[in-house]
């Protein structure tokens, strides 16, 4: 067992377990903090209605960072965003609608991105080209090709860091659990079952309406091919529309699937299948993604991960709304965010680690979600820690969920290359590996 220690010290030491690309320091960069006292990392937070508010709270409340800009295409959200920084830092952040103005500011060291999914990869690439470090929410890309582009972009701009927002990578409980698994506490671990449940209601039918005066609709769409504005898209229901969103598997499943992949020590799958559909409110609204999904991913070494997602039926599994069960030859481990339970092969409890936390919360404004992960990013930018989720690792976990969606959307079994996850001999599925872009907005490294 790893002994108790200061959380930041723990993550500094444990971060190497999640390290891949993106662990270099500030070599070649300006001495950060010129615009800010106490040598702080100066940041812009882009996308401030949902998870972005958590980013503002975390980065403005960190003694080693300061938020200079809060950025959003909809000015309605500025007041609440500024409240998040109130009393947490000396300077009140400035507001911007266009993130490119923040990239032009030489005082900005890093940006954090909590925009709709279709903007994650293109904005990250633009930030790297402008010389900024990036904290980007999951999923790191709208499609597999974008994830690969991010990995290539980080290699090109290797003096810059890209951290993905799968915050369980900075949870002390996860490193303790990994240590126990590697030491054989439940024997050879061969399977993981992840799950997420919620009780989302129907979204209704799309109706074309005027664009709100507060919203820059063209910039909201950005790299996505243009469509008329409707009542469903902004600010949240885009999640369930394939043109901009990626469904529940990427919205929430990424977290538990990432922990499952990490603990099993696997990278890319050999086979992917998925079942389910829009079942709970079938034919009642314009929700395009799946509200019910069972995804299975097989890996080399006789290992398997399954994920169950239920967006509209919150009957909990194992008494919790989200988590992962690990199965080994000598027992099992039940992981629930900030804590886990070890069982023997008869189902008897051997040990309990950690305590109940809010990490299985479905509330994106939950203040407990992610501050340690954001702290790790700040310390890595300062050269004092290694990233716990560099983009090459983040991409692998996102890709698993994207492959599950592709299998489901095409109604086919995917046979994949275990070297990179690419799909063999399936033209319909291969077509979903990338997307089309609005002319002039194509991401370029």
Q: What is the DSSP string of 321-390?
A: SEEEEEEETTEEEEE-SSEEEEEETTS-EEEEEE---STT---TT-TTSSHHHHHHHHHHHTTSS--SSB
Distance separating alpha carbons of residues 175 and 149, to the nearest angstrom: 29
Total-model pTM? 0.91
Distance separating alpha carbons of residues 197 and 181, to the nearest angstrom: 26
Integer angstrom CA distances of residue 290 from 170, 293, 297, 308:
29, 6, 18, 11
The string of pLDDT tens digits covering residues 367-426 is 445 589 999 999 999 999 999 999 999 999 999 999 999 999 999 999 999 999 999 999
Which residues have a Cβ under 8 Å from the Cβ of 75 and sit 6 or more positions away? 95, 97, 214
Cite the beta strand spans of 125-214 per DSSP E: 133-136, 162-164, 189-197
Cis-peptide into 271, omega within 30 deg: no
SS3 of residue 95 by DSSP? strand
- Structural domains in the chain, sorted by start: 7-169 (3.40.50.720), 171-206+215-365+391-431 (3.30.360.10)
Handedness of CA 116, 118, 122, 124 (dihedral sign): positive
Starting at the earlier edge strand, list the strands of the sheet with 339-344.
349-354, 339-344, 331-335, 322-328, 189-197, 303-310, 292-299, 271-277, 414-415
Spacing of C-alpha 246 from chain mean position: 12
- Which of 297-301, 317-321, 383-387 shows the lowest per-residue confidence on average (mean pLDDT)? 317-321
Handedness of CA 408, 414, 417, 419 (dihedral sign): positive
Q: Is residue 40 very low, low, confident or very high in pLDDT (cuts 50, 70, 90)?
A: very high
- Which of 30-44, 137-151, 202-216, 388-402 shows the lowest per-residue confidence on average (mean pLDDT)? 30-44
Integer angstrom CA distances of residue 375 from 12, 142, 198, 351, 353:
10, 26, 28, 29, 23
Q: What is the pLDDT of residue 350?
A: 97
Cis-peptide into 93, omega within 30 deg: no
Residue 228: Cβ-neighbour burial (10 angstroms; 0-12, 13-18, 19+): exposed
Which residues have a Cβ under 8 Å from the Cβ of 232 and sit 6 or more positions away? 203, 204, 206, 238, 241, 286
Asked if residue 358 has pLDDT above 80, the reply is: no
Cβ burial 236-269 (10 Å sphere, 16+ → b, else e):
ebbbbbeebbbbbbbbbbbbbbbbbbbbbebbbb
Asked if residue 102 has pLDDT above 50, the reply is: yes
The string of pLDDT tens digits covering residues 157-216 is 999 999 999 999 999 999 999 999 999 999 999 999 999 999 999 999 999 999 999 999
Please tell me what DSSP assigns to residue 37.
Answer: G
Which residues have a Cβ under 8 Å from the Cβ of 277 and sit 6 or more positions away? 290, 291, 292, 293, 408
Across the chain, mean pLDDT equals 91
Beta bridge partners of 298: 271, 304
């Amino acid at each position: 067992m790893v002994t108790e220690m200061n959380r930041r010290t723990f993550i500094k030491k444990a971060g190497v377990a999640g390290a891949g690309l993106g662990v270099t320091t500030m070599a070649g960069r300006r001495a950060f903090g010129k615009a800010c006292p106490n040598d702080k990392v100066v940041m812009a937070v882009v996308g401030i209605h949902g998870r972005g508010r958590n980013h503002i709270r975390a980065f403005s409340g960190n003694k080693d960072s300061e938020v200079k800009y809060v950025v959003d295409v909809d000015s309605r959200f500025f007041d609440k965003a500024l409240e998040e920084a109130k009393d947490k830092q000396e300077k009140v952040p400035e507001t911007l609608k266009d993130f490119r103005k923040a990239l032009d500011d030489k005082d900005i060291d890093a940006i954090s991105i909590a925009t709709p999914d279709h903007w994650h990869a293109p904005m990250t690439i633009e930030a790297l080209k402008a010389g900024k470090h990036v904290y980007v929410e999951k999923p790191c890309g709208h499609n597999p090709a974008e994830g690969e582009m991010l990995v290539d972009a980080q290699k090109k701009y290797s003096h810059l860091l890209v951290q993905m927002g799968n915050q369980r990578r900075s949870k002390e409980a996860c490193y303790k659990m990994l240590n126990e698994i590697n030491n054989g506490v439940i024997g050879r671990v061969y399977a993981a079952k992840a799950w997420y449940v919620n009780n989302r209601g129907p979204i209704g039918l799309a109706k074309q309406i005027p664009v709100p005066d507060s919203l820059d609709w063209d910039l909201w769409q950005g790299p996505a091919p243009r469509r008329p504005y409707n009542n469903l898209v902004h600010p949240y229901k885009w999640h369930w529309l394939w043109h901009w969103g990626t469904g529940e598997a990427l919205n929430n499943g990424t977290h538990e699937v990432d922990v499952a992949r990490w603990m099993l020590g696997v990278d890319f799958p050999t086979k992917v299948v998925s079942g389910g559909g829009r079942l709970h409110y079938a034919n009642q609204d314009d929700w395009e993604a799946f509200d019910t999904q069972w995804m299975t991913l097989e890996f080399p070494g006789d290992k398997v991960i399954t994920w169950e997602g239920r967006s509209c039926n919150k009957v909990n599994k194992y008494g919790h709304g989200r988590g992962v069960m690990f199965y080994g030859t000598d027992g099992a481990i039940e992981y629930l965010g900030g804590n886990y339970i070890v069982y023997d092969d008869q189902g008897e409890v051997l040990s309990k680690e950690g305590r109940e936390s809010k990490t299985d919360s479905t509330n994106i404004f939950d203040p407990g979600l992610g501050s340690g992960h954001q702290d790790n990013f700040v310390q890595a930018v300062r050269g004092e820690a290694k990233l716990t989720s560099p983009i090459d690792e983040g991409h692998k976990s996102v890709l698993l969920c994207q492959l599950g969606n592709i299998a489901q959307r095409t109604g086919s079994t995917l046979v994949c290359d275990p070297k990179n996850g690419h799909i063999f001999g399936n033209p319909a599925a291969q077509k979903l590996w990338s997307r089309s872009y609005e002319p002039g907005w194509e991401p370029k490294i």
